[in-house]
Amino acid sequence: MGNESKINLGITIGDPNGVGLEIILKIFEDRRMFDFFTPVLFAPPMLVNDCKKLLNLQTGLHTTSGSKKWNKGKLNVQSIDCPKFDIRFGTVDPAAGACAVASLQAATQALKNQTIDALVTAPIHKKSIQSENFSFPGHTQFLADAFESDSLMLMVKDGLRVALVTDHIPVQQVSSTVDQNILQAKIDQFYSSLQQDFGLSKPKIAVLGMNPHAGDEGVIGQEDDLVVRPTVQAYQEKGQLVYGPYAADSFFGSGTADAFDGILAMYHDQGLIPFKTLSFGEGVNFTAGLPVVRTSPDHGTAFDIAGKGQAETTSFKAALFTAMQIYRQRQGE
């Protein structure tokens, strides 16, 4: 396990035809990164070497099949088995998806065995990864199932923290999915994470409305009056700083968001459009509610620029450091 100065940080390969592996190799060209992490990339060594050569990168690699042989000054490549294929940047390929699944499964087992302290996942392509072995909408649901936990998708950039009541479901299902029990469960998770993972003893949370203008007193839908308001009121009666529902259209632009430690959005785009507008390329996706720490960058596979050497490392690097900070916070360091 990691000590006060360094942690053993697992990293998945994501879709090899995307930008994930390129970014990982770029980040660990900088030897200063090894002052903070002993990185362990779960991947086929030959594939990593092929990508390194294709992109003319100089990252120091150390191939291993066990944690006892990890090198503290190189990017460790923990060998995994997956179907052999040639990298074709920007291409949807089930073989690439199978490799992404194998990497995630191996990293998840390492988390369970506590041979790594935390995990950062590179982006997957949701079509290429779907198979009999993987039928989840994304990493969040896979990890929630693996650790038998209810997860909460939480986007982080400095003091801006946006969580989602629902994440990867169709918009038409949102209003029928969110009831008082589900909303309460998500608020509880968010409140607990802000305390446990971010060290906020009495966090202040804003809950966004379900409908435009938070329903306009029932003129534009009943959900805000029947579900959101009574749920929020119950928290206030317990002395917890939970407020809402707030009209989502003006909440971020007006500066209201600055007064809160966390913002709970009802559905994916309601929360992520403003978050990514304010912090794209620098944000981090953190899966709250798990007994382990998992983060990822705020971008996808970026097939349009994969293999061109144009991928930015900022968000992925932020995911590495956020994972370290949350792990240390949980350890009381």
The CATH number of residue 102's host domain is 3.40.718.10
Do 276 and 315 lie in a common domain? no
Shared domain for 125 and 257, answered yes or no, is no
End of a domain among 257, 273, 289?
289
The overall longest dimension of the chain from CA atoms, in Å, is: 64
The pLDDT assigned to 1 comes to 43
Q: What is the pLDDT of residue 333?
A: 73
- Answer with the one of 289, 304, 320 that is the final residue of a domain: 289
pLDDT in tens, 139-182: 888 898 899 999 999 999 999 999 999 988 899 999 999 999 99
Is the predicted pLDDT of residue 241 greater than 80, yes or no?
Answer: yes
**Which pair of structure tokens corresponds to residue 141?**
């649901």
pLDDT tens by residue, 98-146 = 999 999 999 999 999 999 999 999 999 878 887 777 777 778 888 988 9
pLDDT of residue 285 exceeding 90: yes
Task: Specify whether 108 is located in the same domain as 6.
Answer: yes
185 and 266 belong to one structural domain: yes
Is the domain of 157 the same as that of 272?
yes
Q: What is the mean pLDDT of residues 217-226?
A: 88
Q: Give the pLDDT confidence score for residue 4 in this predicted structure.
A: 55
Indicate if 104 and 131 belong to the same structural domain: yes
pLDDT for the residue 273: 94
What b/e sequence results for 172-209 when a residue is b if at least 16 CB atoms lie within 10 Å of its CB, and e otherwise? eebbeebeeeebeebbebbbebbeebbebeebebbbbb
Q: What are phi and psi of 234, to 5 degrees?
A: -65, -35
pLDDT band at 67 (very low <50, low <70, confident <90, very high): low
75 and 125 inside one domain: yes
Return the pLDDT at 136.
Answer: 78
| Residue 30 banded pLDDT, cuts 50, 70, 90 | very high
182 and 122 belong to one structural domain: no
- Dihedral sign for Cα 277, 281, 283, 286, please: positive
Task: Note down the domain range covering 160.
Answer: 152-289
Query: Same domain, yes or no, for 160 and 138?
Result: no
pLDDT of residue 3: 45
Q: Could you identify the residue written with the tokens 């506590």?
A: 114
pLDDT band, very low/low/confident/very high, at 68 (cuts 50, 70, 90): low
Same domain flag for 8 and 145: yes
Cβ(80)–Cβ(101) below 8 Å = no
Q: How does residue 214 score in pLDDT terms, banded at 50, 70 and 90?
A: confident
Chain segment 80-94, per-residue pLDDT in tens: 988 777 889 999 998
pLDDT score of 62? 94
Is the same domain home to 302 and 264?
no
Q: Are 223 and 212 in contact (CB under 8 A)?
A: no
Q: Kindly state whether residues 314 and 241 are assigned to the same domain.
A: no
If pLDDT is split at 50, 70 and 90, which confidence band does 2 have?
A: very low
Specify the number of domains making up the chain: 2
Give a three-class secondary structure readout of the chain.
CCCCCCEEEEEECCCCCCCHHHHHHHHCCCHHHHHCEEEEEECCHHHHHHHHHHCCCCCCEEEECCHHHCCCCCEEEECCCCCCCCCCCCCCCHHHHHHHHHHHHHHHHHHHHCCCCEEECCCCCCCCCCECCECCCCHHHHHHHHCCCCCEEEEEECCEEEEECCCCCCHHHHHHHCCHHHHHHHHHHHHHHHHHCCCCCCCEEEEECCCHHHHCCCCCCCHHHHHHHHHHHHHHHCCCEEEEEECHHHHCCCCHHHHCCEEEECCHHHHHHHHHHHHCCCCEEEEECCCCCEEEECCCCCCCCCCCCCCCCHHHHHHHHHHHHHHHHHHCC
Q: What is the pLDDT of residue 293?
A: 97
